[in-house]
A and B are shown apart, each in its own frame.
Chain A
Amino acid sequence: MYNGGKILIGIIVFLLFAAFPFYNNIGKVSAKPEPKLNTPVIQQLAEKKCVEPKDFMKAEHMQMLNDWRDSAIREGKRTYINSEGKPFYISLQNTCMNCHSNKKEFCDKCHTYAAVKPYCWTCHIEPKEKRS
């Protein structure tokens, strides 16, 4: 082999990059996030249902919030009719956060896990919660 030293350095650098996720996680334990739904308001609901079905909300809530913002702020329409024909008042803080008042235990759980930084809170005021 020619230039063995330089080749070896190159291979080591390659391994450092290629195996990064593996050695980066040695000794770390990560658990799947479990967003909590046990706020007082949700517990008092007769029918524990969100605006739309759970699977839809899980995948499309960000799109829905975006549409709600456009509808409320840009068009002034404050009523949303869901897939069952039920009307809802369009408001992040008065509708969504009324039930899901536990941002840290609900929103942030998955967002932190998946490294998502929603920009809701650049305009809205973050709810003041006690750190649990």
Chain B
Amino acid sequence: MKILVPFFAVIALVLLAVIGTAANLHFLFGAVIPYAALFIFIFGVIYRVLKWAKSPVPFCIPTTCGQQKSLPWIKQNKLENPSGTLHVIGRMALEVLTFRSLFRNIKGELRDGSKFVYGSDKWLWLGGIAFHYAFLIVLLRHIRLFAEPTPAYLYILEAFDGFLQIGIPRLFATGVVLLAAAAFLFLRRIYVPQVRYISLAADYFPLFLIMGIAATGIIMRYFFKTDIVGVKELAMGLVGFNPVIPKSVGSIFYVHLLLVSALFAYFPFSKLMHMGGVFLSPTRNMVANSREFRHVNPWNYPVKVHTYEEYEEDFREKMKMAEIPVEKE
């Protein structure tokens, strides 16, 4: 169920685009839905981030696994135990760009029936980093459809991406890596029993969606070629707020576009928000200076206290009579 429902949801989206183009709803699928999706994406992401920013961080909870700043002759581990903003920036950069905490992933398993051993497990990190970087480059390559004249750096990017010169149009390595990595991450969810147990429909849906996007993109480029000039005309119309619907663009393009729109619109409501969330994780972005400074819980309110001085003030005479020593006569 958890796999089939999102699978058929993606199939339904594909069929919806096919039926929509057959019913001549090109303007709806080529302009209205993409605009709406982008609107939801941008404002949804900002809304989520602002909502997160409203929650206070009650405790100083950076995770550390290195020597804290201490006496001058003890070497501090600045990345694992940051004591300043610069250290935190370095730590965050490595986290965001190289998925450092995922690299530390370990796996426990029973050996010989009774021995429980831990070992390094880099497959998730490898699949994750391949997936994210391939997706980033694929996304950047699409700028060629949104910028006229195409910026020069995109030619360099494409030259590297297609340097294998396999076939015509040249095979882009990132397209293959993206699809393969997404397929790997999907198979991992199915084949590893523990991961399968904790996987929800919300985990499978983005994977199916992205696999669908990559597959339709690859089909359009290498197999049933779509009219790329028409596609750019449409894209340029969209970014210029002057949408045009070229007749030469086939329905496979609208399937691709609807899946992308679905991904964008779904983004702010889903786990994909880890794009913004990674920057807001307190275990990574806080300075480990709990011994230097007191971290005050922001939602602390002033508490009414009755100090000993006030207590003595109230009961001094009675205390003296009972021969209890007082601080002030």
Contact = CB atoms under 8 A, between A and B. Distances in A.
Interface string B203-236: 0000000000000000000000101110011011
Interface residues of A, number: 35
A2 B42 contact: no
B155 A115 contact: yes
B217 to A, nearest CB: 15
Interface stretch (A61-69, A72-80, A83-91): A61-69
Nearest to B298: A2
B225 A114 contact: no
Contacts of B144: 114-115
Interface residues of B, number: 40
B54 A115 contact: no
A33 interface: yes
A131 interface: no
Contact of B56 (A2, A30, A32, A66): A2
B249 to A, nearest CB: 12
B46 A14 contact: yes
Nearest to A1: B53
A15 interface: yes
B13 to A, nearest CB: 22
B54 A1 contact: yes
B168 A65 contact: yes
A3 B276 contact: no
Interface in B110-134: none
A126 B149 CA distance: 22
Contacts of A20: 143, 146
Instruction: Specify which of B144, B154, B298 lies most central, judged by the most chain A CB atoms within 10 Å of its CB.
Output: B144
Nearest to A62: B168
Interface in A98-113: 110, 112-113
B53 A25 contact: no
Instruction: Specify which of B49, B159, B232 lies most central, judged by the most chain A CB atoms within 10 Å of its CB.
Output: B232
B49 A114 contact: no
A94 interface: no
Interface of B: 38, 41-42, 45-46, 49-50, 53-57, 143-144, 146-150, 154-155, 158-159, 165, 167-169, 225, 227-229, 232-233, 235-236, 239-240, 276, 279, 298
15 contacts: A1-B50, A7-B49, A7-B53, A18-B42, A21-B147, A22-B239, A24-B146, A25-B146, A25-B147, A25-B148, A30-B148, A58-B227, A62-B168, A113-B229, A116-B228
4 smallest A-B Cβ distances: which pairs? A21-B146, A115-B150, A115-B144, A30-B148
